[in-house]
Amino acid sequence: MPVRRAGRPALPAVVLSLIGLGAAAVLALWWKDTPPIHGTGELLTGAGEVLGLLSGYGVVVLVALMARLPPLERGIGTDRLARWHAMGGRYVITLITGHVLFIIWGYAVTAQEKVTSETVILLTRYPDVLMASVAWFLLLGVGAFSARAARRRLSYETWYYAHLYTYLAIALAFSHQFADGASFTTSLDARVAWSAMYVTVAAAIVWYRFLTPLRMAVRHRFTVMSVRPEAPGIVSVFISGRDFGRLRAEPGQFFRWRFLTRELAWQSHPYSLSAMPRSDLMRITVKARGDHSYLMARLRPGTRVIAEGPYGAFTPSLSGRRVLLIAGGVGITPIRAMFAALPKRMADGITLIYRASHPRDVLFSRELDAIAADRNASMHYVIGSREQLGYDPLAPEYLQRLVHGLHRYEAYVCGPPGMTQAAIASLRAAGIPRGRIHHESFDF
């Protein structure tokens, strides 16, 4: 059973440092190429240029985070990368907006024009500025569509297609950097280096997001074998194929699935493996929420699938400590895979708490009981809402009573975001340090 050794390198810190170094290099480029500033007009224009350079760099970083680079997906985790991308996206859109405003203002002061007429001059007389402005509006739109308030109202599909416009925006804005940017017009080296940065990330996107899934589909021949209802609204889908051992999927990881039917072929969704794969069979368990999941229940055997992965950093690390698994609702899916994969020699060292609102929502109870018996692990089903129970079963006192010596455990939590946050808070309160609490949110 491939379970990873403990002590993974601090990749998140390394990656963030590299991003910071890149930003410093961009600032150095501006510093080197810019003569000393005299006067308000140059000051404002200088601010606009700095913000513009950082924006052009920031956009590349954002795309790179989402390029599905295997070391990032494994070492940092898909959910964390998505959070970084979201936060970074808001920041970069702010940078771009600042760039636009300062350039207009700076040029207006320098040329002694009104801001309104300078805007018209910039749009009509300077090369590629009109395209770049369109790009700006597109990105503002994408930002609006991605805001939390919007995502609550929009379907995943709408948000996804709106987000694709970022590629168009980047293409539109690219040329004005070289045509109008003072750091680039007189320096071939700067243009070459900047282009190399863009080309590299574009190549990564093409390779990892387009070609690799196709290669994998050809190699492994993912096909739907059967669909089995597990509970009301929840189905398991069995995927057959060949050579799954080469995927090296670890328990707790997920794949992105694209089912090739007329309705489902246009998007891919992430679902965790609910059991460790055999060399020719995999199982995922899906909750019927939204159009996509509803259609999954009606999948016909023989449907071809394109699967990308494995992704996810939510996998057990063999630190030698006792393990506590907390699952809520359909979060039992990766937890169950982990549960089965933990070595038998950890007898007495495994506890699983399964939180569900209703008995009929409990999945895999027979499998879980069998695994627990096999490993002499402790299984606790905690069923019912907090109102029904009369107390919060994830409160620190209750957890500590349930799990003796809780503060020495390594904990893994997976469930709906609210429950996950509450559980993590309780575990922290019980004395488990942040580094020993692993979780994955299904928000992305």
Partner 1 sequence: MLRAALVLGGSAVGLAALLMFKTQPGAPGAAAADTPATPSPATSATGAGASPAATATRSAGPKPSATTGGEGASTAARIVTGTVVNTQYGPMQVQITLTGQKITNATAVQRTDDGTESDQIDAMAIPKLTSETLAAQSARIDAVSGASYTSSGYIQSLQSALDKAGI
Closer residue to partner 1 (CB): 110 or 365: 110
Listing DSSP states for 385-440 in one string gives: -HHHHSS-TTSHHHHHHHSTTGGG-EEEEES-HHHHHHHHHHHHHTT--GGGEEEE
Closer residue to partner 1 (CB): 35 or 232: 35
Listing DSSP states for 326-360 in one string gives: EEEGGGHHHHHHHHHHS-GGGTT-EEEEEEESSGG
Q: Which residue has the tokens 């079963």?
A: 393
Q: Is 109 in the site for partner 1 (CB under 8 A)?
A: yes
Stretch that binds partner 1, among 120-128, 193-201, 328-336, 375-383 (CB under 8 A): 120-128
Q: How far, in Å, CA of 8 to CA of 319, rounded?
A: 11
Minimum Å gap between C-beta 30 and partner 1 is 8
Q: Is 127 in the site for partner 1 (CB under 8 A)?
A: yes
Q: Is 33 in the site for partner 1 (CB under 8 A)?
A: yes
Listing DSSP states for 27-41 in one string gives: HHHHHHH-PPP-SHH
The one-letter code for the residue type at 179 is: A
Q: How far, in Å, CA of 180 to CA of 270, rounded?
A: 42
Q: Is the peptide bond before 334 cis (omega within 30 degrees of 0)?
A: no
Closer residue to partner 1 (CB): 103 or 356: 103
Minimum Å gap between C-beta 36 and partner 1 is 4
Is there a contact between 303 and 262 (Cβ–Cβ < 8 Å)?
Answer: no
CA angle 357, 390, 388 (to 5 degrees): 35
- Measured CA to CA in angstroms, residue 112 lies from 36, 107, 130, 160, 415 at distances of 20, 8, 22, 44, 59
Total residues in contact with partner 1, by rule CB under 8 A: 38
Q: Is 353 in the site for partner 1 (CB under 8 A)?
A: no
Which member of 2, 21, 25, 39 binds partner 1 (CB under 8 A)? 39
Site mask for partner 1 (CB under 8 A), range 68-107, x = bound: ----------------------xx--xx----------xx
Stretch that binds partner 1, among 47-55, 278-286, 290-298, 332-340 (CB under 8 A): 47-55
Which member of 125, 148, 153, 262 binds partner 1 (CB under 8 A)? 125
Stretch that binds partner 1, among 7-15, 39-47, 72-80, 139-147 (CB under 8 A): 39-47
CA angle 52, 58, 59 (to 5 degrees): 95
Touching partner 1, residues 167-196 (CB under 8 A): 180-182, 185-186
Q: Which residues bind partner 1 (CB under 8 A)?
A: 27, 31, 33-43, 45-47, 49-51, 90-91, 94-95, 106-107, 109-113, 121, 125, 127, 180-182, 185-186
